[in-house]
A and B are shown apart, each in its own frame.
Chain A
Amino acid sequence: MGLFAYPFMVNALEAGTIVALMAAVAGWFMVLRRQSFAGHTLAVMSFPGASGAALAGIPLALGYFGSCSIAAIAIAAGSRGRMGRNRQQESAVIGTVQVAGFALGFLFLSLYSGVLESLETLLFGSFLGITQDQVLTLLAVAAGVAVFFVLVGRPLLYASIDPAAAQARGVPVRLLEPAFLLVLGLAVAATAQITGVLLVFALLVAPAAAAQRLTARVGAGLALTAAIGLAVTWLALSLSYYTDYPIGFFITSLGFAAYVVAHGIGRRR
């Protein structure tokens, strides 16, 4: 049977495309800003969000986006130093938030007696059962994230590389920091719905890290990150569809492979 024969597969491809693009751009900035630990914690926080939503009987998407946004705000507020972001404080704060998130997630899941969401699906992802509504929600969130990057991409880049100089030039560094974390939280929450909580990084970090090995140009780097993310997602969906092995395995392996290849090419130059 062809890849597009079933509506669920079309939904999965649409959702995968949206998520891959969003994760690529947010991930590129995250890697540049060395905030991968914060990104990972946001991913973990989508676990109590999703399991809590299942327990409460509200839409899972609401749980994913809600918990990631709250966690992003908490991390931004907790790690705020005199000169904007305080890196030491940040990693301590987010480590603590992460532990609490995992604990809550397990509690919610053990209280939840339904059969819709298994632990495995939440943690390692599934592309089955993505609804048209879910695709539309992802599209709306992605549109918001896109507007953010189109508006503040350049000052955000400046604030990411050289915060003190950017601040002196009038870039609102202290506003951009929590704003970026919030956008990262949204991208992570969207990605977690496809890849599962634990494998978000396959789409968030691997394509960006691979692209940054290959080029130091800004525009080319962003485009390459998006291309790698899309290729990984589409290939993983197809492989998963034809082989019946879980999507999370393919996304992660392909993302890892992309990084190893990029690393090899980058070293040779």
Chain B
Amino acid sequence: MTGTPAVELRGATAEIGGRAVWSGVDLTIEPGELVAVLGPNGAGKSTLLRVLLGLLPLGAGSATVLGEMPGHRNSDIGYLPQRHGFDSSTRIRGVDLVRLGLDGNRWGLPLSGGRTERARVEEVIGLVDAAAYARRPIGELSGGEQQRLLIAQTLAAGPELLLLDEPLDSLDLPNQTAVSALLARICRSEHVAVLLVAHDVNPLLADLDRVVYIAGGRIVSGRPEEVITSETLSGLYGVPIEVLRTSDGRLVVVGQPEAPAHHSDRHAH
């Protein structure tokens, strides 16, 4: 897959109910890049993932994912939907959950255990450092442990692109940083492009290759230090925005207007 971008959008417009969510978007993501999708609630972050999965056709422009039309290579994409954890009564082991990422879409009984499949499951569980608790029921694990196993599930089938919808949501700060570092490591070692929707860029800052910022119907992408600046964000929102850097290197965006409630796509998948 050398030379083919993982994701390429040209003049792309996404529409929901005839209204443009964002338009005129040019975006290229290369294999092995770790990219964060940022922006206020309702700006169209989840919509971008739905477009890339082929669940929402573009209103205008073109998109290729792994060199083909969106939706054509979904078996090479690991997708982690936004979620709020498994409740404690979910009596399924972590390994079985990961296993479903490998062959859950194939017909048959959920019992069959081929040797190569089991080896692959162990491999991805090792990649996310989850071997210690992978045999416990998923509902009994902490949010961070569940998230690691879910990432292992998306990796199981050997994808070339990971689309993760708010994987750091509902994690505490140390876990956010740890999962971020984990994703950066997987990006490099597996040469997978990772596109993740995030609320807060700070836990990711050290690891990101690129930021995709969605606001006001437009998208700006680039290196974090180019995009998350007072000038770029003010231009994007159309109102004065100030980006401050704290003494420990964290970025704080001030003056960011909240999107009207009816724009919300947080529950749209």
Contacts and interface: CB of A to CB of B under 8 A. Distances in A.
A63 B126 CA distance: 54
Interface in B104-154: 104-111, 136-137, 153-154
Contacts, number: 89
A165 B91 contact: no
Interface residues on B, range: 20 to 34
Contacts of A162: 81, 97, 100, 153
Nearest to A220: B111
Contacts of A154: 100, 103-104, 106-110
A169 B109 CA distance: 17
Contacts of B137: 216
Given A155-B104, A217-B93, A150 B109 contact: yes
Interface residues of A, number: 29
B269 A164 contact: yes
Contact of B53 (A149, A168, A171): A168
B105 A164 contact: no
A139 interface: no
A267 to B, nearest CB: 13
B15 interface: no
Contacts of B101: 165, 169
Contact of A153 (B109, B153, B154): B109
A158 interface: yes
B234 interface: no
Contact of A170 (B74, B96, B153): B74
Given A149-B109, A153-B108, A155-B107, A218 B92 contact: yes
13 contacts: A149-B109, A154-B108, A157-B110, A161-B90, A164-B81, A166-B104, A168-B81, A171-B105, A216-B92, A216-B136, A217-B93, A218-B110, A219-B111
